[in-house]
């Protein structure tokens, strides 16, 4: 889907994932791994934060095994002051000299007497700063008070305590937190002792020892959290937040209880920790983080007001919870050996997150949403400069760059294809065997696919290797011919590029692709493994067409000769599943983009789908209309296109009616909101513009009286047609919003106001203290509006130094992504040059991808604008 404005969650998640890319001190690409001489067994770790002074002090004993006799033990540590270090071995204790290497984020502890192989204890006392960078041990603030929180993934545990901060060094953590008397603390274990002191006004909370976990999964949170308590399968579950927000925790609790029960069954291993806490942190760089048994969230992804929340907000919260809970087994219990396999960790959780929800809320139709994930990944993977799933990473900067759409979306989609090919039960059995074998330890991607190959008896290893080691995704071209009582299907594969010239040139990639063929004669789908450039298969029955992605789980696009496609298109509503009906126009659009299909045929296909009522399919149908309207259609043809949009959606609109009907399904209500946005947007329907304004007035007066989805759409429409008076009101409501959903509904609509003076005010807001650093991604929305884009871009450049200062280290690389929002040569060149001049480390690939994206957009206009005129004239 090309429209970023519909749903908060689509762009936000993408941005967040990108915004995670953090760059620390740039260190040399080698020598950052710890030497393999000493391994930790357990940590006794005591931390005492001082919220008022924003500092902390720590005292730890790391119980280690010396693997090779050594005089030096090398640990990770960053931005910590060592007060004292001792190493005890064989009954003798010696003070160690500490030498810090800031660039490598390491500390070398040296003693004079060689440590023999065997057990030793390292005792370190240290201090640090509770930073404002949302990583390591950091300071977070609500309007009322301060909190201390941790965010360690990927390489920031070393900012909270010296240790072996690599995922393969799993250890037991015995944590004690010393906090103010009135405060509490949350960590990976349960509180097993609460004693007064040390010192006045303090108490010490001792947590039960963790099982063996990697350092990046340790969590420590300090403040006045209030928790709602529940449980499932004997595991106590709590949803915790600021006390004033406690009323918003019910939905998350119910979701997590259902999800835990589902995973206990699916994984065939009981939830591996003794409790589960889900905690909102007032300032949070990522969306959520899967710390073992203490999952942390930004507020929008956990808090729901059940009376007012939109359907999408609930789905979002539930799927983020399901994602992080999926990691408790896949990631936390079994962890990647090294960060180069983080794609499997994130891809798996992304693939898994919808499963427990499909079971819990079948009416959410998440099967179709799953396909949405795959389609998003395919768009990303069509860029000529896209990376491969598998990539090496040594330094912290390299590692964070791996948390991108390829690791999440593509990896999840490849798993989805493999699952469809081997069968869901076989896939599950393979996952179970893999987890059982490596529980409490580490594993590699090879371990995973070797197991699946063994369990399934199918060449999963070959498929996974080829999709993870080659960039891009295949386009399968289908030619079928009826030969008496059978049908001959010729399949040909090539790499799909969004760049027409690249696509026309031969590509070298070749994948083993499980193609699920659906012949019109029998309607019986069967898998065929396409391993060559070109291969012919025979199917029983005489078929007029053969669809090559039955079930729509394949990670490839497919195309047909025009006659076969026309037949399929004419039967699309009667013949294909919703999953396939999402896919068919999406694949068609990919062909339009490169000029292999006339946009007129695409628009005709949409007209064939006027009877469509499934929301996900309708979203796909309307997903490109805004881009066509704003970017591709000639100025003079715009009114004709607007009328075409109105005509297309008339039957659906009159079927849905203007107002919600009591008792109707939530999906129908949400669809009405989607429709309002298109009809008033690229449809320019004046009545609906007026209606949206009315909804906004009502929402401002009594938010609980308006469906939140309708309110969100209306806020965008009204903004697009709004002036300074309305803008002022949005700003007012930002300050009084009662739920995160309400807050972001106003915030993200600011970018849609058409007056450049208001764009200016939005940039001022972004730089002020009014906007939290964690919400800087709103810049994406300010720059996405094509109408105000040139002005916004100018402001962005002028304000860049101040913007840069406000970004936490994790937000910085992501901003090169903004260079991909344009659709014209001048802004492309200017933004490329601007970002390149900033010399932001780690942004090279992102900038290249961004340029590809802009070029693809320009190309559509060049290839299709005339076709569009001709079509609209008819
Ligand atoms: N492990 C990640 C969070 C993370 C990513 C932390 C990169 C540090 C660096 C977590 O499991 C995750 O994927 N969070 C997503 C939300 C998810 C539902 C897509 C996020 O933060 O956007
Ligand atoms: Zn994740």
Indicate the top mutation candidate among 346, 348, 366 to test ligand 1's pocket, ranked by most ligand atoms within 8 A of CB: 346
pLDDT per position as a tens digit, 344-354: 999 999 999 99
Task: Provide the pLDDT for residue 659.
Answer: 85
Query: What are residue 175's DSSP bridge partners?
Result: 45
Indicate whether 804 pLDDT > 70. Answer: yes
Task: Provide the pLDDT for residue 818.
Answer: 93
Closest residue by Cα to atom 2, ligand 1, is 289
Spatial CA neighbour of 691 closest among 670, 671, 713, 708: 713
Percent of the chain with pLDDT over 70: 96
Ligand nearest to the CA of 11: 1
pLDDT per position as a tens digit, 415-451: 999 999 999 999 999 999 999 999 999 999 999 999 9
Task: Provide the pLDDT for residue 9.
Answer: 33
Q: Residue 322 Cα, ligand 2 centroid: separation in angstroms? A: 10
Q: Residue 327 Cα, ligand 2 centroid: separation in angstroms? A: 7
Alpha carbons 305 and 300: distance in angstroms, whole number: 11
Q: H or E segment at 87?
A: strand 80-89
Structural contact between residues 438 and 267, judged by C-beta atoms closer than 8 angstroms: no
Ligand nearest to the CA of 346: 2
Q: What is the dihedral of CA 227, 229, 233, 234, to 10 degrees?
A: 100
Q: Give the pLDDT mean for 84-102.
A: 97
Closest residue by Cα to atom 1, ligand 1, is 289
The atom number, within ligand 1, closest to the CA of 350 reads 19
Alpha carbons 713 and 708: distance in angstroms, whole number: 9
Q: Give the pLDDT mean for 281-288.
A: 96
Task: Provide the pLDDT for residue 874.
Answer: 86
* Cis amide linkage into residue 198, ω under 30° from 0: yes
Q: Residue 735 Cα, ligand 2 centroid: separation in angstroms? A: 31
Q: Give me the phi and psi of 75, to 5 degrees please.
A: -120, 170
* Residue 378 CB neighbours (<10 A): 23
Structural contact between residues 297 and 283, judged by C-beta atoms closer than 8 angstroms: no
Catalytic center residues: 324
Burial of 424 (0-12, 13-18, 19+ CB in 10 A): exposed
Task: Provide the pLDDT for residue 816.
Answer: 86
Distances (CA, A) of 735 to 440, 543, 743: 46, 62, 8
Sign of the torsion angle spanned by Cα atoms 19, 163, 350, 273: negative
Indicate whether 48 pLDDT > 50. Answer: yes
Structural contact between residues 574 and 842, judged by C-beta atoms closer than 8 angstroms: no
Q: Residue 344 Cα, ligand 2 centroid: separation in angstroms? A: 10
Indicate whether 22 pLDDT > 70. Answer: no
Position 8 confidence tier, pLDDT thresholds 50, 70, 90: very low
- Beta strands of 168-234 (E only): which ranges? 172-180, 184-187, 191-196, 202-207, 220-223, 226-232
pLDDT per position as a tens digit, 747-792: 999 999 999 999 999 999 999 999 999 999 999 999 999 999 999 9
Indicate whether 621 pLDDT > 60. Answer: yes
**Residues recorded for the chain:** 874
pLDDT per position as a tens digit, 463-508: 999 999 999 999 999 999 999 999 999 999 999 999 999 999 989 9
Q: Give me the phi and psi of 550, to 5 degrees please.
A: -55, 135
Q: What is the dihedral of CA 582, 588, 592, 598, to 10 degrees?
A: -120
Position 28 confidence tier, pLDDT thresholds 50, 70, 90: very low
Q: Give me the phi and psi of 736, to 5 degrees please.
A: -110, 5
Q: Residue 22 Cα, ligand 1 centroid: separation in angstroms? A: 13
Alpha carbons 341 and 434: distance in angstroms, whole number: 15
pLDDT per position as a tens digit, 496-534: 999 999 999 989 999 999 999 999 999 999 999 999 999
763-797 burial, b at 16+ Cβ within 10 Å, e below that, comes to bebbeeeebbbbbbbbbbbbbbbbebbbbbbebbe
* Residue 450 CB neighbours (<10 A): 17
Q: Residue 287 Cα, ligand 1 centroid: separation in angstroms? A: 6
| Secondary structure (3-state) at 44 | strand
Indicate the top mutation candidate among 20, 322, 326 to test ligand 1's pocket, ranked by most ligand atoms within 8 A of CB: 20
538-560 burial, b at 16+ Cβ within 10 Å, e below that, comes to ebeebbebbbbbbbbbbbbbbbb
Percent of the chain with pLDDT over 90: 92
Indicate the top mutation candidate among 150, 215, 289, 410 to test ligand 1's pocket, ranked by most ligand atoms within 8 A of CB: 289
The atom number, within ligand 1, closest to the CA of 287 reads 21
**Taking CB atoms and a 6 Å cutoff, what residues make up the pocket around ligand 1?**
13, 16-17, 20, 153-154, 286-290, 320, 323-324, 327, 346, 349, 403
Closest residue by Cα to atom 16, ligand 1, is 287
Position 30 confidence tier, pLDDT thresholds 50, 70, 90: low
Task: Provide the pLDDT for residue 398.
Answer: 86
- Could you tell me the two tokens for 451? 């197991």
Task: Provide the pLDDT for residue 526.
Answer: 98
Average pLDDT over the chain reads 94
Ligand nearest to the CA of 290: 1
Alpha carbons 36 and 30: distance in angstroms, whole number: 15
Ligand nearest to the CA of 217: 1
pLDDT per position as a tens digit, 53-64: 999 999 999 999
pLDDT per position as a tens digit, 295-334: 999 999 999 999 999 999 999 999 999 999 999 999 999 9
Task: Provide the pLDDT for residue 31.
Answer: 63
Q: Give the pLDDT mean for 740-749.
A: 97
Spatial CA neighbour of 772 closest among 298, 425, 436: 298
Task: Provide the pLDDT for residue 130.
Answer: 98
Q: Give the pLDDT mean for 690-710.
A: 95
Structural contact between residues 860 and 632, judged by C-beta atoms closer than 8 angstroms: yes
Task: Provide the pLDDT for residue 797.
Answer: 96
């Amino acid at each position: 889907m090309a429209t970023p404005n519909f749903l908060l969650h689509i762009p936000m998640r993408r941005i967040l994932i990108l915004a995670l890319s953090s760059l620390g001190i740039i260190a040399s690409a080698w020598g950052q791994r710890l030497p393999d001489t000493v391994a930790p067994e357990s940590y006794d770790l005591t931390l005492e934060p001082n919220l008022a002074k924003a500092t902390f002090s720590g005292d730890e004993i790391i119980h280690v095994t010396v693997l090779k006799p050594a005089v030096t033990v090398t640990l990770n540590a960053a931005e910590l002051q060592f007060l004292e270090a001792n190493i005890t071995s064989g009954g003798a204790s010696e003070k160690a000299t500490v030498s810090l290497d800031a660039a490598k984020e390491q500390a070398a502890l040296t003693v004079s007497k060689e440590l023999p192989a065997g057990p030793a204890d390292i005792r370190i006392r240290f201090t640090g700063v509770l930073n404002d960078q949302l990583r390591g041990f950091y300071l977070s603030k609500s309007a009322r008070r301060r909190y201390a929180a941790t965010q360690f993934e990927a390489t920031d545990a070393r900012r909270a305590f010296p240790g072996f901060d690599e995922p393969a060094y799993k250890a037991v953590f015995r944590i004690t937190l010393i906090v103010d008397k009135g405060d509490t603390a949350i960590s990976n274990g349960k509180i097993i002792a609460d004693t007064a002191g040390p010192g006045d006004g303090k108490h010490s909370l001792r947590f039960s020892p963790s099982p063996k976990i990697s350092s990046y999964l340790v969590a420590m949170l300090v403040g006045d959290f209030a928790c709602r308590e529940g449980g499932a399968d004997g595991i106590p579950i709590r949803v915790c937040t600021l006390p004033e927000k406690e009323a918003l925790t019910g939905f998350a609790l119910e979701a997590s209880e259902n999800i835990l029960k589902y995973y206990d069954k699916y994984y065939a291993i009981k939830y591996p920790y003794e409790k589960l806490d889900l905690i909102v942190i007032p300032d949070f760089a990522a969306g959520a983080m899967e710390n073992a048994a203490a999952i942390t969230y930004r507020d929008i992804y956990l808090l729901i007001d059940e009376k007012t929340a939109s359907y999408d907000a609930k789905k979002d919260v539930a799927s983020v919870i399901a994602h992080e809970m999926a990691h408790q087994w896949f990631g936390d219990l079994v962890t990647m050996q090294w960060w180069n396999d983080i794609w499997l960790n994130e891809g798996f959780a992304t693939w898994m997150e919808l499963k427990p929800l499909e079971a819990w809320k079948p009416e959410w139709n998440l099967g179709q949403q799953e396909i949405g994930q795959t389609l998003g990944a395919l768009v990303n993977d069509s860029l000529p400069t896209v990376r491969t799933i598998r990539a090496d990473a040594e330094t912290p900067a390299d590692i964070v760059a791996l948390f991108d759409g390829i690791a999440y979306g593509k990896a999840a989609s490849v798993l989805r294809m493999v699952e469809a090919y081997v069968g869901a039960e076989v896939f599950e059995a393979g996952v179970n065997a893999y987890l059982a074998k490596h529980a409490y330890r580490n594993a590699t991607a090879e371990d995973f696919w070797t197991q699946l190959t063994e369990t399934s008896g199918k060449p999963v290893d070959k498929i996974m290797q080829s999709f993870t080691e080659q960039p891009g995704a295949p386009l399968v071209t289908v030619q079928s011919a009826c030969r008496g009582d059978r049908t001959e299907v010729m399949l040909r594969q090539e790499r799909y590029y969004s760049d027409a010239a690249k696509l026309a040139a031969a590509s070298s990639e070749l994948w083993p692709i499980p193609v699920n063929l659906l012949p019109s004669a029998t309607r019986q789908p069967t898998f065929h493994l396409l391993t060559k450039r070109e291969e012919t298969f025979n199917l029983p029955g005489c078929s007029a067409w053969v669809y090559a992605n039955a079930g729509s789980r394949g990670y490839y696009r497919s195309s047909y000769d025009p006659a076969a496609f026309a037949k399929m298109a004419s039967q699309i509503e009667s013949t294909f599943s919703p999953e396939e009906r999402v896919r068919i126009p999406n694949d068609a659009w990919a062909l339009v983009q490169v000029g292999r299909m006339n946009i007129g045929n695409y628009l005709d296909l949409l007209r064939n789908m006027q009877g469509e009522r499934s929301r996900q399919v309708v979203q796909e149908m309307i997903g490109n209309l805004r881009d066509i309207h704003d970017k591709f259609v000639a100025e003079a043809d715009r009114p004709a296109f607007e009328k075409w949009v109105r005509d297309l959606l008339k039957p659906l609109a009159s079927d849905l009616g203007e107002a919600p009907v009591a008792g109707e399904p939530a999906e129908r209500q949400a669809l009405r909101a989607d429709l309002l946005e298109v009809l008033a947007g690229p449809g320019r329907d004046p009545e609906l513009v007026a209606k949206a304004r009315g909804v906004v007035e009502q929402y401002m007066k009594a938010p609980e009286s308006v469906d939140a989805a309708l309110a969100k759409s209306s806020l965008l429409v009204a903004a697009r047609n709004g002036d300074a008076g309305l803008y002022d009101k949005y700003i007012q409501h930002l300050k009084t919003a009662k739920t995160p959903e309400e807050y972001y509904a106003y915030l993200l609509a600011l970018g849609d106001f058409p007056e450049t003076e208001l764009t200016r005010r939005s940039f001022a807001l972004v730089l002020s203290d009014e906007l939290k650093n964690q919400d800087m991604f709103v810049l994406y929305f300010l720059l996405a509006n094509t109408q105000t884009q040139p002005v916004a871009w100018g402001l962005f450049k002028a304000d860049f130094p101040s913007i840069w200062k406000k970004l936490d280290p994790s937000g910085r690389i992501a901003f090169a992504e903004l260079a991909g929002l344009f659709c014209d040569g001048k802004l492309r060149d200017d933004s490329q040059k601007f970002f390149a001049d900033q010399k932001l480390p780690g942004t090279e690939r992102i900038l290249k991808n961004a340029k590809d994206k802009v070029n693809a957009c320009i190309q559509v206009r060049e290839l299709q604008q005339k076709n569009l005129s001709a079509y609209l004239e008819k």
